[in-house]
């Protein structure tokens, strides 16, 4: 399927968290238009079974293709962990997930290991990060921990709240004991907790947010296929971003600003029957 450089980049997440990846894409490729789908009617994906997440991801992927996107970014760690392979084999456009890029950035940042990974229950149970890190750096010890309460805390805006600090202290105990030198924030929401997590882990530990590395990967894939939109230096044309949610657009509008660095002016509504 050939697309023009002007076609939008499609991306999706279970909800709003993937907007942290949208920020990175906008920063790295300012001429690109984005079509972002947030599955706010069915969030969270973290505790759901792999089959259910795969079904949701395929529905959304097919819909994004029907909207004319030139590639799809799975801006959700849980959906990447469970559904990247099925999306890549079923859809006619390149599909890029966040796990590989995050693992690559962690391997690059780590000096002696071990590497810690935190994410939703689904992401951690899938073992996707551990596999990806050990594929790139065989022999590296990887410690993984599910932190299911972090998502609701971030959505509540409690990114610097004593309760969040207490919970982080508890969740990260095994990471501190093992003296990880790198911690992968394997969930779209966790970058918003980065200052609190950094304080908890101490200055020796590098925190990895896969968003930046994912943007590098997307740029490379688009350039390889000759569909990277570099903009026209003669005409400063603004990209058009579309935001679509499967539940109450008002909620998306109200909370989206916590995740996205630019204002969201409108949110469309699309529901899967
Ligand atoms: N977007 C999900 C992730 O990155 C977190 C929210 C959810 O559980 O759906 O894993």
- Here the CATH number for the domain that contains residue 121 is 3.40.50.1860
71, β-bridge pairs:
9
Domain range holding 107? 99-210
Q: Are residues 217 and 206 in the same domain?
A: no
Q: Are residues 115 and 186 in the same domain?
A: yes
- pLDDT tens string, the chain, 273 residues long: the values are 667 899 999 999 999 999 999 999 999 999 999 999 999 999 999 999 999 999 999 999 999 999 999 999 999 999 999 999 999 999 999 999 999 999 999 999 999 989 999 999 999 999 999 999 999 999 999 999 999 999 999 988 899 999 999 999 999 999 999 999 999 999 999 999 999 999 999 999 999 999 999 999 999 999 999 999 987 766 666 899 999 999 989 989 988 988 999 999 899 999 987
Q: Which residues contact 47 (CB under 8 A, 6 or more apart)?
A: 120, 121, 122, 148
CB 45 within 8 A of CB 79: yes
Q: Annotated catalytic sites, by residue?
A: 76, 187
Q: Are residues 76 and 104 in the same domain?
A: no
**Helix (H/G/I), strand (E/B), else coil: 74:** strand
Q: Are residues 194 and 236 in the same domain?
A: no
Residue to mutate, 37, 50, 78, 129, ligand 1, most ligand atoms under 8 Å from C-beta? 78
State if residue 45 touches ligand 1 by the CB under 6 angstroms criterion.
Answer: yes
Question: Count of domains in the chain?
Answer: 2
Q: How far apart are CA 34 and CA 43, in angstroms?
A: 21
Residue with CA nearest ligand 1 atom 7: 44
Residue 80 lies in a domain: yes
Q: Are residues 224 and 246 in the same domain?
A: yes
CB 119 within 8 A of CB 183: no
Residue to mutate, 76, 82, 148, 255, ligand 1, most ligand atoms under 8 Å from C-beta? 76
Residue 245 lies in a domain: yes
Q: For residue 94, what are its two tokens?
A: 């390149």
CB 149 within 8 A of CB 167: yes
Residue 18 lies in a domain: yes
Q: Are residues 175 and 190 in the same domain?
A: yes
Report the length, in residues, of the chain.
273
**This prediction's pTM:** 0.96
């Amino acid at each position: 399927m050939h697309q023009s450089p002007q076609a939008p980049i499609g991306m999706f997440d279970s909800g709003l968290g993937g907007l942290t990846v949208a920020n990175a894409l906008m920063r790295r490729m300012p001429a690109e238009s984005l079509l972002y789908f947030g599955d706010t009617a069915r969030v969270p994906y973290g505790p759901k079974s792999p089959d259910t997440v795969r079904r949701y991801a395929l529905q959304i992927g097919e819909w994004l293709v029907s909207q004319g996107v030139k590639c799809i970014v799975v801006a959700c760690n849980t959906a990447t962990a469970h559904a990247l392979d099925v999306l890549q084999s079923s859809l006619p456009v390149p599909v890029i997930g966040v796990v590989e890029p995050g693992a690559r950035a962690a391997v690059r940042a780590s000096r002696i290991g071990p590497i810690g990974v935190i994410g939703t229950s689904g992401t951690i149970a899938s073992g996707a990060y551990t596999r990806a890190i050990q594929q790139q750096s065989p022999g590296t010890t990887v410690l993984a921990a599910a932190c299911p309460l972090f998502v609701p805390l971030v959505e509540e805006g409690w990114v610097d709240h004593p309760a969040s600090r207490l919970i982080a202290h508890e969740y990260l105990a095994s990471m501190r004991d093992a003296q990880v030198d790198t911690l992968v924030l394997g969930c779209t929401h966790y970058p918003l907790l980065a200052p609190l997590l950094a304080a908890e882990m101490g200055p020796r530990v590098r925190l990895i947010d896969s968003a930046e590395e994912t943007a590098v990967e997307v740029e490379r894939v688009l350039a390889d296929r000759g569909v990277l939109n570099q903009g026209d230096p003669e005409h400063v044309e603004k990209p058009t971003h579309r935001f679509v949610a499967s539940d109450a657009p008002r909620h998306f509008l109200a909370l989206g600003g916590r995740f996205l660095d630019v204002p969201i002016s409108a949110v469309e509504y699309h529901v899967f029957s």
